[in-house]
């Protein structure tokens, strides 16, 4: 009888990784690429506090999604309480970063975050209503996360045109890549896909960054990487591609992201 009671009240263990880690693996690139690149280009005393603030907000997203989704559905599960605990932990990280950033940054450094705030709230809504995998939510995430590059650049003494150029660089890097990966995965699964939309987005990104280079706001090397990304999209969505699973496609996106970051850093420091 005692054994039966133990079985009856035994609850499955809640894995912290399921509550803490984001389900979109590519979002790690959205987080770290702008932070690393901007910190390497325009490092200042505010770089680390801004990074901590952004990382805290990013890590809050997944447990907040679980908590809000459960509450909106009228559920109060063990995972709901655990998720709330992690929300509070990461909010504390965010708050510490924010306070330190206020003490070390000029007010202008927070303007990019003010600009993206409505889009961040929209993304929270998408998370809570389980619409976070929709294209609009992913594109919004790219816009929001890339704002950290502009904030760090402004805190490091860059003027608005220079900081905006770095922000645009990462938007141009993320948005076409989202479109490419979504369509590449559909192609690999034998579903209808678009070749033209990702290709057009990559061409637009190349043209935009080339214009910024012509205006002396981006280095040439940072533009050259978009030629590589365009070629990757054209070949990856053609019959000449090598079939690949989602994991391999994701690994290559990490490599392309690293190449983009290095092109920006090396280009700024060498003048190429």
Question: Quick one: 126 and 165 in the same domain?
Answer: no
Instruction: Decide which of 112, 143, 158 is a domain's last residue.
Output: 158
pLDDT tens digits, 109-168: 999 999 999 999 998 898 888 887 889 889 998 999 999 999 999 999 999 999 999 999
Residue 11: predicted pLDDT = 55
What pLDDT band is residue 208 in, cutting at 50, 70 and 90? very high
Q: Which of 158, 190, 210 is the last residue of a domain?
A: 158
pLDDT of 4 = 47
Name the band, by pLDDT with cuts 50, 70 and 90, for residue 7.
very low
In tens, the pLDDT along 54-104 reads 999 999 998 988 888 888 887 777 888 888 899 999 999 999 999 999 999
- Helix runs in the chain, H state only: 2-9, 16-20, 27-41, 47-72, 78-104, 111-128, 135-155, 160-188, 196-214, 220-236, 246-270
Residue 136: strand, helix, or coil: helix
- Both 152 and 168 in one domain: the answer is no
CA-closest candidate to residue 63, choices 44, 39, 46, 80: 80
Secondary structure of 60-79 in HEC code, one letter for each residue:
HHHHHHHHHHHHHCCCCCHH
Say if residue 2's pLDDT is above 60.
no
Do residues 210 and 241 share a domain? yes
Task: Check whether residue 120 and residue 80 sit in a common domain.
Answer: yes
**Can you tell me the mean pLDDT for 17-25?**
73
Instruction: Quote the pLDDT of residue 13.
Output: 64
Per the model's pLDDT, the better-predicted residue between 126 and 34 turns out to be: 34
The pLDDT of residue 28: 87
The C-alpha atoms of residue 33 and residue 148 are separated, in whole angstroms, by 10
Q: Domain check: are 72 and 53 in the same one?
A: yes
- Average pLDDT over the chain reads 91
Is there a single domain that holds both residue 25 and residue 61? yes
Query: Number of structural domains, the chain?
Result: 2
Q: Looking at the structure, do residues 201 and 213 belong to the same domain, yes or no? A: yes
What range defines the domain where residue 132 resides?
1-158
Is 44 in the same domain as 107? yes
């Amino acid at each position: 009888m005692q054994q039966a009671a133990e079985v009856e009240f035994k609850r499955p263990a809640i894995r912290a990784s399921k509550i803490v880690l984001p389900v979109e693996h590519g979002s790690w690139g959205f987080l770290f690429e702008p932070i690393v690149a901007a910190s390497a280009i325009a490092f200042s005393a505010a770089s680390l506090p801004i990074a901590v603030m952004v990382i805290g907000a990013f890590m809050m997203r997944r447990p907040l999604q679980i908590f809000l989704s459960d509450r909106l559905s009228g559920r109060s599960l063990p995972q709901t309480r655990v998720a709330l605990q992690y929300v509070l932990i990461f909010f504390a990280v965010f708050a510490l970063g924010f306070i330190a950033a206020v003490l070390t940054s000029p007010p202008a450094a927070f303007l990019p975050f003010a600009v993206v705030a409505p889009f961040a709230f929209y993304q929270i809504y998408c998370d809570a209503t389980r619409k976070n995998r929709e294209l609009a939510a992913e594109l919004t995430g790219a816009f929001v996360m890339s704002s950290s590059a502009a904030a760090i650049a402004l805190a490091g003494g860059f003027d608005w045109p220079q900081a905006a150029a770095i922000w645009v660089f990462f938007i141009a890097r993320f948005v076409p890549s989202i479109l490419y990966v979504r369509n590449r995965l559909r192609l690999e699964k034998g579903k209808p896909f678009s070749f033209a939309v990702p290709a057009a987005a990559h061409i637009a990104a190349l043209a935009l960054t080339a214009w910024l280079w012509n205006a002396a706001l981006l280095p040439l090397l940072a533009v050259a990487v978009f030629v590589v990304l365009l070629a990757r999209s054209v070949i990856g969505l053609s019959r000449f591609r090598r079939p690949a699973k989602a994991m391999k496609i994701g690994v290559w996106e990490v490599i392309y992201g690293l190449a983009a970051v290095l092109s920006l850093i090396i280009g700024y420091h060498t003048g190429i």
